Structure 1
Amino acid sequence: MQLQNSFEQVVQQMMKDDLFSQWLGIQVLEVKEGYSKISMLVRPEMMNGMGIVHGGIAFSLADSAFAFACNNRNQLSVALDTSIQFLKPVHVHDILTAEAVELHNGKSTGLYLIKIFNQNQHLIALFKGTCFRTSKKIIP
Protein backbone atom coordinates (compact mmCIF):
# COMPACT_ATOMS: atom_id res chain seq x y z
CA MET A 1 0.00 0.00 0.00
CA GLN A 2 1.43 3.36 -1.03
CA LEU A 3 0.85 6.00 1.59
CA GLN A 4 -1.37 8.71 0.18
CA ASN A 5 -2.78 10.35 3.28
CA SER A 6 -2.55 10.57 7.04
CA PHE A 7 -5.31 7.93 7.42
CA GLU A 8 -3.08 5.37 5.72
CA GLN A 9 -0.09 6.45 7.81
CA VAL A 10 -2.03 5.75 11.01
CA VAL A 11 -3.07 2.29 9.78
CA GLN A 12 0.50 1.52 8.71
CA GLN A 13 1.68 2.40 12.22
CA MET A 14 -1.04 0.22 13.73
CA MET A 15 -0.10 -2.74 11.49
CA LYS A 16 3.56 -2.38 12.39
CA ASP A 17 2.73 -3.07 16.04
CA ASP A 18 -0.20 -5.48 15.48
CA LEU A 19 1.41 -8.93 15.62
CA PHE A 20 -1.96 -10.68 15.61
CA SER A 21 -3.12 -9.04 12.38
CA GLN A 22 0.29 -9.88 10.94
CA TRP A 23 -0.14 -13.53 12.00
CA LEU A 24 -3.56 -13.58 10.33
CA GLY A 25 -1.84 -12.45 7.12
CA ILE A 26 -4.00 -9.35 6.76
CA GLN A 27 -3.39 -7.17 3.74
CA VAL A 28 -4.62 -3.58 3.84
CA LEU A 29 -6.38 -2.86 0.56
CA GLU A 30 -7.86 0.59 1.09
CA VAL A 31 -8.08 3.21 3.82
CA LYS A 32 -10.11 6.41 3.83
CA GLU A 33 -11.40 8.57 6.64
CA GLY A 34 -13.58 6.31 8.82
CA TYR A 35 -13.25 3.41 6.34
CA SER A 36 -11.04 0.39 5.76
CA LYS A 37 -10.96 -2.61 3.47
CA ILE A 38 -8.67 -5.55 4.27
CA SER A 39 -8.26 -9.17 3.17
CA MET A 40 -6.64 -12.42 4.22
CA LEU A 41 -6.14 -16.01 3.08
CA VAL A 42 -7.59 -18.69 5.38
CA ARG A 43 -4.92 -21.26 6.35
CA PRO A 44 -5.27 -24.88 7.59
CA GLU A 45 -4.21 -24.00 11.16
CA MET A 46 -7.35 -21.86 11.41
CA MET A 47 -9.66 -24.91 11.37
CA ASN A 48 -11.77 -25.94 14.34
CA GLY A 49 -12.64 -29.49 15.42
CA MET A 50 -15.77 -29.57 13.24
CA GLY A 51 -13.92 -29.24 9.95
CA ILE A 52 -14.69 -25.58 9.31
CA VAL A 53 -12.75 -22.45 10.07
CA HIS A 54 -12.96 -21.21 13.66
CA GLY A 55 -15.46 -18.36 14.02
CA GLY A 56 -12.81 -16.32 15.78
CA ILE A 57 -10.98 -15.95 12.48
CA ALA A 58 -13.83 -14.07 10.79
CA PHE A 59 -14.42 -12.12 14.01
CA SER A 60 -10.74 -11.17 14.20
CA LEU A 61 -10.64 -10.05 10.57
CA ALA A 62 -13.71 -7.86 11.14
CA ASP A 63 -12.27 -6.56 14.40
CA SER A 64 -9.09 -5.47 12.61
CA ALA A 65 -11.09 -3.71 9.89
CA PHE A 66 -13.12 -2.03 12.65
CA ALA A 67 -9.94 -0.90 14.44
CA PHE A 68 -8.39 0.50 11.27
CA ALA A 69 -11.55 2.41 10.38
CA CYS A 70 -12.26 3.90 13.81
CA ASN A 71 -8.64 4.83 14.59
CA ASN A 72 -7.46 6.21 11.26
CA ARG A 73 -8.14 9.83 12.22
CA ASN A 74 -5.25 9.38 14.68
CA GLN A 75 -7.54 9.45 17.71
CA LEU A 76 -7.02 6.28 19.76
CA SER A 77 -10.36 4.47 19.91
CA VAL A 78 -11.22 1.26 21.73
CA ALA A 79 -14.11 -1.17 21.35
CA LEU A 80 -17.10 -0.63 23.63
CA ASP A 81 -19.37 -3.24 22.07
CA THR A 82 -19.12 -5.68 19.18
CA SER A 83 -21.35 -8.35 17.73
CA ILE A 84 -21.18 -10.68 14.77
CA GLN A 85 -23.66 -12.73 12.80
CA PHE A 86 -22.22 -15.70 10.92
CA LEU A 87 -24.13 -16.29 7.68
CA LYS A 88 -22.04 -18.92 5.86
CA PRO A 89 -19.17 -21.20 6.86
CA VAL A 90 -15.58 -20.30 6.02
CA HIS A 91 -13.27 -22.93 4.54
CA VAL A 92 -9.52 -23.36 4.23
CA HIS A 93 -8.11 -21.44 1.24
CA ASP A 94 -11.01 -18.99 1.20
CA ILE A 95 -9.94 -15.40 0.65
CA LEU A 96 -11.89 -13.17 2.98
CA THR A 97 -12.38 -9.44 2.52
CA ALA A 98 -13.71 -7.20 5.27
CA GLU A 99 -15.04 -3.74 4.54
CA ALA A 100 -15.64 -1.37 7.48
CA VAL A 101 -18.00 1.56 6.94
CA GLU A 102 -18.60 4.29 9.46
CA LEU A 103 -22.27 4.81 10.32
CA HIS A 104 -21.77 7.42 13.06
CA ASN A 105 -18.79 9.59 13.98
CA GLY A 106 -19.45 11.25 17.31
CA LYS A 107 -17.15 13.18 19.60
CA SER A 108 -16.75 10.27 22.01
CA THR A 109 -18.19 7.26 20.16
CA GLY A 110 -18.36 5.81 16.67
CA LEU A 111 -20.51 3.11 15.08
CA TYR A 112 -19.25 0.84 12.29
CA LEU A 113 -20.69 -1.91 10.11
CA ILE A 114 -18.26 -4.46 8.75
CA LYS A 115 -19.24 -6.87 5.98
CA ILE A 116 -17.10 -9.93 5.29
CA PHE A 117 -17.19 -11.55 1.87
CA ASN A 118 -15.41 -14.61 0.50
CA GLN A 119 -13.70 -14.83 -2.89
CA ASN A 120 -17.05 -15.65 -4.54
CA GLN A 121 -18.55 -12.40 -3.20
CA HIS A 122 -20.78 -14.38 -0.80
CA LEU A 123 -21.56 -12.45 2.36
CA ILE A 124 -20.30 -14.71 5.14
CA ALA A 125 -20.66 -12.44 8.20
CA LEU A 126 -21.89 -9.09 9.47
CA PHE A 127 -20.08 -7.38 12.35
CA LYS A 128 -21.19 -4.26 14.19
CA GLY A 129 -18.82 -2.33 16.41
CA THR A 130 -19.15 0.67 18.68
CA CYS A 131 -15.97 2.42 19.75
CA PHE A 132 -15.05 4.91 22.45
CA ARG A 133 -12.71 7.71 21.41
CA THR A 134 -9.93 8.68 23.82
CA SER A 135 -7.88 11.87 23.80
CA LYS A 136 -4.68 9.95 22.93
CA LYS A 137 -2.98 9.89 19.52
CA ILE A 138 -1.63 6.83 17.72
CA ILE A 139 1.09 8.85 16.00
CA PRO A 140 2.28 11.63 18.35
Structure 2
Amino acid sequence: MKGEQIPYKMLSQDAYSSWLGIEILECEIGRCKVGMTIRKEMLNSMNKAHGGISYSLADTAFGFAANTHGKYAVSIETSINHIEALDEGDYLTAESVIENVKNKLGFNIIEVKRREELVALFKGVVYRTQKDWEQ
Protein backbone atom coordinates (compact mmCIF):
# COMPACT_ATOMS: atom_id res chain seq x y z
CA MET A 1 0.00 0.00 0.00
CA LYS A 2 1.33 3.44 -0.89
CA GLY A 3 2.11 5.53 2.17
CA GLU A 4 -0.15 8.44 1.28
CA GLN A 5 -3.10 6.00 1.06
CA ILE A 6 -2.60 4.64 4.59
CA PRO A 7 -4.30 7.56 6.43
CA TYR A 8 -7.44 7.08 4.30
CA LYS A 9 -7.52 3.39 5.29
CA MET A 10 -6.92 4.35 8.93
CA LEU A 11 -9.77 6.89 8.88
CA SER A 12 -12.16 4.36 7.33
CA GLN A 13 -11.48 2.04 10.31
CA ASP A 14 -11.46 4.76 13.01
CA ALA A 15 -14.93 5.14 14.54
CA TYR A 16 -13.83 7.90 16.93
CA SER A 17 -12.21 10.16 14.31
CA SER A 18 -15.20 9.52 12.04
CA TRP A 19 -17.60 10.52 14.86
CA LEU A 20 -15.58 13.71 15.34
CA GLY A 21 -16.13 14.48 11.66
CA ILE A 22 -12.41 14.61 10.88
CA GLU A 23 -11.57 14.87 7.20
CA ILE A 24 -8.22 14.50 5.50
CA LEU A 25 -7.41 17.75 3.68
CA GLU A 26 -3.90 16.98 2.41
CA CYS A 27 -1.72 13.91 2.64
CA GLU A 28 1.67 12.82 1.35
CA ILE A 29 4.54 10.76 2.71
CA GLY A 30 5.48 12.23 6.09
CA ARG A 31 2.73 14.85 6.15
CA CYS A 32 -0.98 14.95 6.86
CA LYS A 33 -3.36 17.85 7.34
CA VAL A 34 -6.81 17.20 8.80
CA GLY A 35 -9.80 19.39 9.66
CA MET A 36 -13.09 19.33 11.53
CA THR A 37 -15.95 21.53 12.76
CA ILE A 38 -16.81 21.81 16.45
CA ARG A 39 -20.36 20.63 17.16
CA LYS A 40 -22.67 21.32 20.13
CA GLU A 41 -22.11 17.89 21.68
CA MET A 42 -18.37 18.68 21.85
CA LEU A 43 -18.85 21.61 24.25
CA ASN A 44 -18.05 21.60 27.97
CA SER A 45 -19.99 23.16 30.86
CA MET A 46 -18.59 26.62 29.96
CA ASN A 47 -20.03 26.36 26.44
CA LYS A 48 -16.52 26.06 24.95
CA ALA A 49 -15.02 23.10 23.11
CA HIS A 50 -13.81 20.38 25.46
CA GLY A 51 -10.01 20.29 25.49
CA GLY A 52 -10.10 16.72 24.24
CA ILE A 53 -11.49 17.89 20.91
CA SER A 54 -8.47 19.86 19.69
CA TYR A 55 -6.27 17.21 21.32
CA SER A 56 -7.99 14.46 19.34
CA LEU A 57 -7.71 16.36 16.07
CA ALA A 58 -3.97 16.89 16.56
CA ASP A 59 -3.46 13.29 17.69
CA THR A 60 -5.19 12.04 14.54
CA ALA A 61 -2.98 14.22 12.30
CA PHE A 62 0.07 12.96 14.21
CA GLY A 63 -0.89 9.30 13.86
CA PHE A 64 -1.80 9.58 10.21
CA ALA A 65 1.46 11.32 9.24
CA ALA A 66 3.56 8.87 11.25
CA ASN A 67 2.04 5.89 9.46
CA THR A 68 2.60 7.23 5.92
CA HIS A 69 6.11 5.78 6.05
CA GLY A 70 4.56 2.31 5.70
CA LYS A 71 5.17 0.84 9.17
CA TYR A 72 2.66 0.67 12.01
CA ALA A 73 3.47 3.66 14.24
CA VAL A 74 1.88 4.40 17.61
CA SER A 75 2.12 7.39 19.92
CA ILE A 76 3.89 6.73 23.21
CA GLU A 77 3.79 10.21 24.71
CA THR A 78 1.75 13.29 23.87
CA SER A 79 0.85 16.63 25.41
CA ILE A 80 -0.96 19.80 24.42
CA ASN A 81 -0.99 23.51 25.24
CA HIS A 82 -4.42 25.12 24.81
CA ILE A 83 -3.90 28.71 23.69
CA GLU A 84 -7.40 29.92 22.76
CA ALA A 85 -10.91 28.82 23.75
CA LEU A 86 -12.97 27.33 20.93
CA ASP A 87 -16.65 27.71 20.09
CA GLU A 88 -19.36 25.69 18.41
CA GLY A 89 -19.05 26.10 14.65
CA ASP A 90 -15.30 26.79 14.67
CA TYR A 91 -13.45 24.93 11.91
CA LEU A 92 -10.07 23.64 13.04
CA THR A 93 -7.11 22.26 11.14
CA ALA A 94 -4.07 20.35 12.34
CA GLU A 95 -1.02 19.54 10.26
CA SER A 96 1.67 17.04 11.17
CA VAL A 97 5.00 16.74 9.36
CA ILE A 98 7.19 13.77 10.27
CA GLU A 99 10.22 13.60 8.01
CA ASN A 100 12.99 11.93 9.99
CA VAL A 101 12.58 8.14 10.05
CA LYS A 102 16.16 7.12 10.91
CA ASN A 103 15.24 5.40 14.15
CA LYS A 104 12.29 3.86 15.98
CA LEU A 105 11.25 7.12 17.67
CA GLY A 106 9.86 10.20 15.98
CA PHE A 107 9.23 13.60 17.55
CA ASN A 108 6.71 16.10 16.28
CA ILE A 109 4.95 19.38 17.04
CA ILE A 110 1.51 19.90 15.54
CA GLU A 111 -0.14 23.31 15.29
CA VAL A 112 -3.92 23.40 15.66
CA LYS A 113 -5.39 26.44 13.96
CA ARG A 114 -8.69 28.25 13.57
CA ARG A 115 -8.13 29.77 10.14
CA GLU A 116 -4.63 31.29 10.55
CA GLU A 117 -4.89 31.66 14.34
CA LEU A 118 -2.85 29.24 16.45
CA VAL A 119 -5.23 27.80 19.08
CA ALA A 120 -3.26 24.81 20.41
CA LEU A 121 0.21 23.31 20.26
CA PHE A 122 0.48 19.50 20.44
CA LYS A 123 3.72 17.62 21.03
CA GLY A 124 4.13 13.92 20.40
CA VAL A 125 6.54 11.03 20.39
CA VAL A 126 5.82 8.13 18.06
CA TYR A 127 7.22 4.60 18.11
CA ARG A 128 7.68 2.89 14.76
CA THR A 129 7.13 -0.87 14.79
CA GLN A 130 8.52 -3.32 12.24
CA LYS A 131 5.02 -4.31 11.08
CA ASP A 132 4.18 -3.23 7.53
CA TRP A 133 0.84 -1.80 6.45
CA GLU A 134 -0.67 -4.29 4.01
CA GLN A 135 -3.09 -3.91 1.14
Quickly name the TM-score band, shorter chain normalised.
over 0.9
Question: How many angstroms does 1:106 deviate by?
Answer: 3.0
Q: Distance in 2 between matches of 1:126 and 1:21?
A: 19
Please name the residue that 2:103 is paired with.
107
Please give the secondary structure, in 1, of the residue aligned with 2:121: strand
Q: Which is worse superposed, 52-61 or 110-119?
A: 110-119
Q: Distance in 2 between matches of 1:102 and 1:9?
A: 16
Superposed CA offset, 1:93-127 (max 9, x none): 000000112264332111111101013x1100000
Q: Which is worse superposed, 59-68 or 103-112?
A: 103-112
Q: Distance in 2 between matches of 1:103 and 1:71?
A: 11
The answer to whether the aligner puts 1:136 opposite 2:131 as a matched pair is yes
Amino acid at match of 1:97: T
The answer to whether the aligner puts 1:123 opposite 2:127 as a matched pair is no
Superposed CA offset, 1:28-52 (max 9, x none): 0111221110000110000001111
Structure 1 length as normaliser, TM-score? Answer: 0.91
Which of 1, 9, 13 is equivalent to 1:17?
13
Structure 2 length as normaliser, TM-score? Answer: 0.94
Question: Paired residues, what number?
Answer: 135
- Structure 1 alignment gaps of length 5 or more: none
Q: Distance in 1 between matches of 2:110 and 2:98?
A: 9
Please name the residue that 1:37 is paired with.
33
Which of 52, 66, 84 is equivalent to 1:70?
66
Question: How many angstroms does 1:27 deviate by?
Answer: 0.8
Which structure is higher in strand share? Answer: 2
Amino acid at match of 2:8: Q
Please give the secondary structure, in 1, of the residue aligned with 2:71: coil
Amino acid at match of 1:117: K
Q: Taking structure 1 as reference, are residues 104 and 83 closer, same or farther at Cα in structure 2, changes over 3 Å only? A: farther
Q: Distance in 1 between matches of 2:29 and 2:70?
A: 10
Contact 1:110 1:130 in 2 (8 A): yes
Identity, in percent, stands at: 39
Please name the residue that 1:8 is paired with.
4
Contact 1:77 1:134 in 2 (8 A): yes
